[in-house]
Amino acid sequence: MGKYDFDKLYDRRGTSCLKWDFGMERMGRDDLLPMWVADMDFKLPDEIVEDIVKRAAQGIYGYTDPKQDYYDAVSGWFERRHGFAVDKDWITITHSVVYAIVLAIRAFTDPGDAVIIQQPVYYPFGESVRVNGRNLVNNQLIYKDGRYEIDFDDFENKIVSENVKLFLLCNPQNPAGRVWGRDDLIRLADICKRHGVYVFADEIHSDFVYSSFAHTSYMTLGKEYQDKLILGTSPSKTFNMAGLQVANIIIPNKEVREKFRYENMITGYSQVNSIGLEACKSVYTKGDQWVDELIEYLEGNLSYVRDFLKEKLPQVKLVEPEGTYLIWLDFSQVTDDHKELEKLIVDGARLWLDAGIIFGKETSLFERVNIACPRSIVKQAMEQLYEAIGNADSKR
Ligand SMILES: Cc1ncc(COP(=O)(O)O)c(C=O)c1O
């Protein structure tokens, strides 16, 4: 028995919770089980909640900046968990990783310049490139034998032919579930270095890695790969505190950092969220055991889904994840029409998932499912899925 209870159900409705309170606004109905947005239904440990409450109870919420203890907490986490220390000067705090991606696009590319991504990938990558008037280039991941791989030749060819200036890397990869290994990362990094491409390495899911895998941070590839690196990190996924708006963007190179900070400054953003700062310090000093137990629990959820599908819904294929709590299901043996798939999921199974089409047209027959919730919810979701498609013929 662990110290923390991840089975406990909390009613999040009525808290303006994006996941649970917006069914009517976003889906036109409120009877769907929400497993879409990357937001977990677990409560943080009491010792962390107490730190946040203590700060809030002071009742004064003026301008706040980080002190040395904040930087020590952040560096300590990355040193203990990911094998690198972070120099205080390298950190720029922003309110989110997506905001930092936008800053990087604006700081290191000009309108019309090319930015490369690897779909299927977290959809704000592509959106951020497009809405900022840059040229979106896709190095599609190859889906083969139920697993995603990188097409390195296509990656380098497109970097050259499109004159790519910036690469948005997602590691661990959402939603493909890959935790890129050192060899793959070095190959990508060598290509980027050869062609002078900036790299934004989004490692927001780096704490969610299943037991037979290990996360390799871009920061650990070697100093020679740090000259054009922007590392996106945040406690917001690991500790489910996106609502507290704090992300640590780590940039070792001084010139790159200054350009990034200039872009941040001209948006008018300055001091950080006072509660977010306190929470980040607390989770990064007191949260280790909770995360260790959480990963074990998620592994249990994953096994449940794996066994359920194998036994009762073999036509739905689980893309075996190496990391992240977002699982990627292949429904191509159920239907070949993504609109019909959506109907099966929403009207049939009464589930609110992220449809594969939003991650690129190649994955329109996939669905992304968030399993970071008590097991009883995962079980309910699987039962509802079974009721909707369990007895249906394949490829109707
Ligand atoms: C890869 C990736 N990056 C960034 C984010 C969002 O981070 P933030 O809320 O800090 O913008 C998510 C959220 O799911 C994500 O999956």
pLDDT digits (tens, 9 = 90+) for 369-386: 999 999 999 999 999 999
204 lines ligand 1 (CB under 6 A): yes
Q: Which tens digit of pLDDT belongs to each residue from 175-195?
A: 999 999 999 999 999 999 999
Give Cα 259 distance to the centre of its chain. Answer: 25
Ligand 1 atom nearest to CA at 37: 14
Q: Which residues pair with 121 in a beta bridge?
A: 175
Give the tokens for residue 384: 């509802």
pLDDT in tens, 289-339: 999 999 999 999 999 999 999 999 999 999 999 999 999 999 999 999 999
What is the gyration radius of the CA atoms in the chain, in angstroms? 21
**pLDDT-based confidence at residue 116 (cuts at 50, 70, 90):** very high
State the pLDDT confidence band at 396, using cuts at 50, 70 and 90. very low
Q: At 378, list the tokens.
A: 């995962």
Report residue 78 as tokens: 């990355």
What is the per-residue pLDDT across 339-356, written as a single tens digit (0 to 9) for each? 999 999 999 999 999 999
Residue with CA at minimum distance from ligand 1 atom 13: 38
Distance CA 316, CA 330 (A): 6
The response to whether residue 242 sits with its C-beta less than 6 Å from ligand 1 reads yes
| Pocket of ligand 1 contains residue 96 by CB under 6 Å | yes
**CA 132 to chain CA centroid, nearest Å:** 21
Mutate to test the pocket of ligand 1, among 36, 94, 97, 129 (most ligand atoms within 8 A of CB): 97
Distance 206 CA to ligand 1 centre (A): 12
Mean pLDDT of the chain: 96
Q: Catalogue the long-range contacts made by 255-260 (C-beta closer than 8 Å, 24 or more residues apart).
A: 256/108, 256/198, 256/227, 256/228, 256/229, 256/230, 257/89, 257/90, 257/92, 259/107, 259/108, 260/92, 260/100, 260/103, 260/104, 260/107, 260/230
Distance (angstroms) between ligand 1 centre and the Cα of 42 equals: 18
199 pLDDT exceeds 90? yes
391: pLDDT strictly greater than 70: no
Is pLDDT of 270 > 90?
no
Cβ–ligand 1 distance for 236 under 6 Å, the answer: yes
Q: Does 57 have pLDDT greater than 70?
A: yes
Please give the torsion angle defined by the CA atoms of residues 383, 387, 389 and 392, in that order, rounded to the nearest 10 degrees. Answer: 140
Pairing state of beta strands 198-202 and 164-170? parallel
How many Å lie between the centroid of ligand 1 and the Cα of residue 270? 21
Gap from CA of 230 to ligand 1 centroid (Å): 15
386 vs 388: CA distance, rounded Å: 5
Question: In angstroms, what is the span from residue 121 Cα to ligand 1's centroid?
Answer: 11
Q: Helix, strand, coil proportions of the chain in percent (round to 5)?
A: 45, 15, 40
**For ligand 1, what atom is nearest to the CA of residue 38?**
14
CB environment 255-282: b (16+ within 10 A), e (fewer): ebbebbeebbeeeeeeebbbbbbbbbbb
**DSSP letters for 273-284:** PHHHHHHHHHHH
- Read off the DSSP letter of residue 216: -
Distance CA 122, CA 120 (A): 7
Residue 161, pLDDT score: 98
Of ligand 1's listed atoms, the one at least distance from the Cα of 324 is 16
The average pLDDT across 241-270 equals 97
Mean pLDDT, range 156-168, rounded to an integer: 98
pLDDT value at residue 326 = 98
Confidence (pLDDT) at 386: 97
Q: How far is the CA of 204 from the centre of ligand 1 (A)?
A: 6
Q: How far is ligand 1, taken at its centre, from the CA of residue 390, in Å?
A: 33
Residue 78 has pLDDT above 70, yes or no: yes
Q: Which long-range contacts (CB under 8 A, 24 or more apart) does 342-345 make?
A: 344/388, 344/389, 344/392, 345/385, 345/388
- 38 Cβ inside 6 Å of ligand 1: yes
**Mean pLDDT value across residues 212-228:** 97
C-beta of 363 in contact with ligand 1 (< 6 A): no
Distance 97 CA to ligand 1 centre (A): 6
For residue 98, the CA-to-ligand 1 centroid distance in Å is 6
The arithmetic mean of pLDDT across residues 24-29, rounded, is: 96
The predicted pLDDT at position 393 comes to 52
